[in-house]
A and B are shown apart, each in its own frame.
Chain A
Amino acid sequence: MSLVNFTTREITCKIVYYGPGRSGKTTNLQYIYGRVPEERRGRMVSLATQTDRTLFFDFLPLELGSISGFKTRFQLYTVPGQVYYNATRKLVLQGSDGVVFVVDSQARQLDENIESMQNLHANLLEQGLDIRTLPVILQYNKQDLPPELILTPAELDEALNFRAWPSLPADAINGHGVFETLKAASEAVLRKLSEERT
């Protein structure tokens, strides 16, 4: 996907929220949706099962208006976390400019986090995206849970963040860390502007 198009003077950033099932990806998008003025957001498309877990994907377009003379829009996607929807994940990952990996901080979910991270690596590789250059932000979600149930950001960094990506603690259901994560992802993506001109 072209990040910046000088002919149409548009900057479009596709950010994909990745992570294991029930880690809080859709919650992130819902929180953002609730804080964006109506005229700035498109319809949030969310296809979910009856148990509210994302079956296909969520899509939230954000129109930021003209910035530095460029119509700037963000497209936020989530992927279905469940292992068996890998085809959908690959599809959503196509053309992404950055990834927010939403980690479920619960200690008992560590394996799922690791598995999902491996899956991200594999899928990016398959898409021809270089994980060493693609902006990735780790969000350690559910940090509001009792300490005995969760791993600290430092422990999660140790377990998952061997590439030293930026990582942020969050409590997406209450909104803590949601916009901070989005900002970090946006900054990382936009910094690549000078490298990925069309």
Chain B
Amino acid sequence: MDLNQLFRFDTFLVGASNRLAATAARTVAQTPGTAYNPLFIYSATGLGKTHLLMAIGQQAKQVAPTVVVEYLTLEEFVEAFHAAVAAGQSDAFRNRFGNVDILLIDDVQFLTHRREMQAELLRLIGQLQAADKQIVLSSDCPPAEIEGLDERLVSGFAGGLIVDMGRPDFETRLAILRRRSEERGAEFGPGVLEAVAAFEAANVRELVGTLNRLAAFQAVNEAPLTPESAAALLGWEGGEAPAVPAPPPPKPADEFSDFLSDVTSVLARQVEAWRRRVAEAIMRWEGEGYRTARLEALLNQSAPVSSEAALRQFERDVERLRELEAEMTGMDPTGGGHAAFRDPDRVADAEALVQRAREGLSPPPGPSPLWTFEGYAGGEANKVALTAARAASEQPGRRYNPLVLVGPAGVGKTHLLHAIGNVLVKARKFKEYQAANGEEIRALEPIDRVPRMLQAAELTDGLPFQPDEVELIEGVKEIEQV
């Protein structure tokens, strides 16, 4: 799309609410691909995002007429992509955007849930960044609030500069009104523009719309508007204009912002690209609370180094620390604050911390394998208890539930509990241990139809009878009845 010739930096009014965005935009226009890449500008609608994007394109072309600038909205970007795919010309699409020097994409909030487009944009941003080409994006919300946006895009945007623009303050609103009045050749009586500026318009479009209404009204009426009549015309409550503050002192040209922008672009040219990337990465990770000693050491190298691999490794380490910290916090809310989780040089320590926490969360040890029914010395004194314990282990939950073993210390209560536990654990793990042939049991048959070859002497030893398989059950019942 062609750049609107009216959207230039000299027609963009800078105030406190948009100074940072304007300065950053100027900087990337003067030194594309070096200072802030990508630059992500967000604000509510009507506050000048498109103006800034186009101003970047125009300024960059002034600085270097051969520079290739592509401005388009996300919808246009999507359309172009789909058209290219439909025509089997994906490569042409990639060549088109891969060869620009400055890519300006407006309204990227519409990336919501468009996974395919997000992947394409991610690829394109990576390609352009690798070639030191500038990317500028605008949205009506910060990246993190774009629903369904790929995390890699969010972090990619954060790696450049994300700036917002707020609603213009009184001084900026007044300056906008004055400039627009001059452009229209409209003159207003004293206090009228101040009265309009005092109304906190939601955005610049609304403000200019208000001015247009007043200008149109004044053009067909002979009497000049007063602040009061302007307020009445605009339908403000009670027909009265909001209180008009004292006119502010004349605003000096924003020389400091220009100076800052100038210094920024000079520095961007002077500091080697790899050093800048490392320094910016340090700033970013420090800001997020991570130790950056490794990157600081890199920055101190006198000879140029290949920083990309080191930065990627650092980022991977941070990602791992984040995962570990999240896991740790899930297990122990107080455990996440450990210094190891903030130092990418201590990933191993962080792993060990989490491992220890995991072990702490393991289930308590199982029954001792030493204490089994086989090793239990049965006799008359404990026959009932032993038989009941065996029955409970054979049919857990069905027989003797709860089973309470009572007796003085040292007679084998603990032994019996372990023995029951061992039977249960073996039963549960039978399949896990692959002792079975792996086939699922397809059908259950009544026990009396299945020949039972238990061959388990311990089940019958000591009983006052020698039951067959079925009688064993009956026999125990008899004991119960006893």
Partners in one complex: yes
In whole angstroms, what is the CA distance A47 to B192 when docked? Answer: 46
Q: Which of A51-59, A109-117, A185-193 contacts B (4 or more CB under 8 A)?
A: A185-193
Of A6-14, A82-90, A165-173, the one with at least 4 CB within 8 A of chain B? A6-14
Known: A68-B268, A70-B271, A179-B255. A9 touches B263 (CB 8 A): no
**Least CB separation from A197: chain B residue:** B302
B262 at the interface (CB under 8 A from A): yes
Which of A21-29, A33-41, A134-142 interfaces with chain B? A33-41
By the criterion CB–CB under 8 Å, are B302 and A68 in contact?
Answer: no
Q: Are B263's CB and A68's CB within 8 A?
A: no
Interface residue? B282 (CB, 8 A): yes
List CB contacts (< 8 Å) of B382-397 with chain A: none
A68-B268, A68-B271 known; A183+B280 contact, CB < 8 A? no
Establish whether residues B255 and A9, one from each chain, have CB atoms under 8 Å apart when the complex forms: no
Pick the contact of B266 from A40, A65, A175, A186 — CB < 8 Å?
Answer: A186
Determine whether the beta carbon of B256 is less than 8 Å from that of A37. yes
Residues of A within 8 A of B (CB): 4, 6-7, 9, 11, 34-37, 40, 64-70, 72, 175, 178-179, 182-183, 186-187, 190-191, 193-194, 197
For B254, give the chain A residue with the smallest CB separation: A35
Please, how many angstroms separate the alpha-carbon atoms of A110 and B276 in the complex?
A: 45
The 9 closest A-B pairs by CB, nearest first: A69-B279, A69-B280, A179-B255, A193-B270, A68-B276, A190-B266, A6-B299, A69-B283, A67-B264
B84 at the A/B interface (Cβ < 8 Å)? no
Between A and B, 22 residue pairs with Cβ closer than 8 Å are A6-B275, A7-B296, A9-B296, A66-B283, A67-B35, A67-B268, A68-B35, A68-B268, A68-B276, A68-B279, A68-B280, A69-B278, A69-B279, A69-B280, A69-B282, A70-B267, A179-B255, A182-B259, A183-B258, A186-B262, A190-B263, A193-B270
In the complex, the chain B residue whose C-beta lies closest to that of A184 is B262
Q: Which residue of A lies closest to B281 (CB)?
A: A69
Task: Please give the distance in Å from A63's CB to the nearest CB on chain B.
Answer: 11
Q: Is B300 an interface residue (CB 8 A)?
A: yes
- The answer, yes or no, to whether B252 is at the interface (CB within 8 Å) is yes
Whether B276 pairs with A69 at a CB distance below 8 angstroms is yes
Residues of A within 8 A of B270 (CB): 190-191, 193-194
User: Across the two chains, which residue of chain A brings its CB closest to B258?
Assistant: A179
A183 in contact with B256 (CB, 8 Å):
no
- Residues on B close to A: CB < 8 A? 35, 252, 255-256, 258-260, 262-264, 266-268, 270-272, 275-283, 296, 299-300, 302
Task: Tell me which residues across on chain B come within 8 A of A37, comparing CB atoms.
Answer: 256
From residue B301, how far is it (CB to closest CB) to chain A in Å? 9
Q: How far apart sit A36 and B255, CA to CA, in the bound complex (Å)? A: 8
* Contact yes or no, B282 A68, CB < 8 A: no
Say yes or no: A7 contacts B283, CB within 8 Å. no
- Taking A68-B280, A69-B271, A179-B255 as known contacts, 10 extra A-B pairs with beta carbons closer than 8 A to each other, sorted by chain A number, are A6-B275, A9-B279, A64-B260, A68-B279, A69-B279, A69-B282, A72-B263, A175-B255, A182-B259, A190-B266
Residues of A within 8 A of B283 (CB): 9, 66, 69
Least CB distance, A173 to chain B, in whole angstroms? 14
Alpha-carbon separation in the docked complex, A65 to B276 (Å):
15
Q: CA–CA, A193 to B279, complex, Å?
A: 15
Distance in Å: Cβ of B253 to nearest Cβ of chain A: 9
Please determine whether A193 and B271 come into contact, CB atoms closer than 8 angstroms: yes
- Residues on B with beta carbons closer than 8 Å to the beta carbon of A65: 260
Closest residue on chain B to residue A40 by CB atoms? B256
- Assuming the A-B contacts A7-B300, A35-B256, A179-B255, are A191 and B266 also in contact, with contact meaning beta carbons closer than 8 angstroms in the complex? yes
Q: Are B279 and A64 in contact (CB under 8 A)?
A: no
Q: How far is the CA of A86 from the CA of B42 in the complex (A)?
A: 54
With a CB–CB cut-off of 8 A, which chain A residues contact B278? Answer: 69
Interface centre among A37, A67, A72, A178 (most CB of B within 10 A): A67
Given A67-B267, A193-B271: A186 touches B259 (CB 8 Å cut-off)? yes
Chain A, Cβ-Cβ closest to B20: A65
Instruction: Report the bound CA distance from A69 to B279 in whole Å.
Output: 4
| B residues in contact with A193, CB < 8 Å | 267, 270-271
Most buried by A among B252, B266, B278: B266
Distance in Å: Cβ of B123 to nearest Cβ of chain A: 26
**Inter-chain contact A67/B263, CB cutoff 8 Å:** yes
> A35 to B262, Cβ gap below 8 A?
no
A77 to B345, CA, bound (A): 43
Name A193's closest neighbour in chain B (CB-CB).
Answer: B270
User: Which of B256, B260, B264, B296 contacts A68, CB < 8 Å?
Assistant: B264
Residues of B within 8 A of A40 (CB): 256
Q: Residues of B contacting A69 with CB < 8 Å? A: 271, 276-283
Q: Tell which of A36, A183, A190 touches B267, judged by Cβ atoms closer than 8 Å.
A: A190
CA A72 to CA B252, docked complex, whole Å = 24
User: For B272, what are the chain A residues with a Cβ–Cβ distance below 8 Å?
Assistant: 194
Complex Cα spacing A36 to B257, Å: 9
A179:B259 contact, CB within 8 angstroms: yes
Q: State the CA gap A191–B272 with chains docked (Å).
A: 12
Residues of B within 8 A of A11 (CB): 267
Are A35 and B260 within 8 A (Cβ)?
no
Task: State whether A186 touches B263 (Cβ < 8 A).
Answer: yes
Residue of B nearest to A194 (CB): B270
Chain A residues lying within 8 Å of B277, measured Cβ to Cβ, are 69
**Interface-centre pick from A36, A68, A70, A179 (highest chain B CB count, 10 A):** A68
Identify B299's interface contact among A9, A178, A183, A190, CB under 8 A: A9
Residue in chain B with minimal CB distance to A187: B266
Q: Is B262 touching A70 in the complex (CB atoms < 8 A)?
A: no
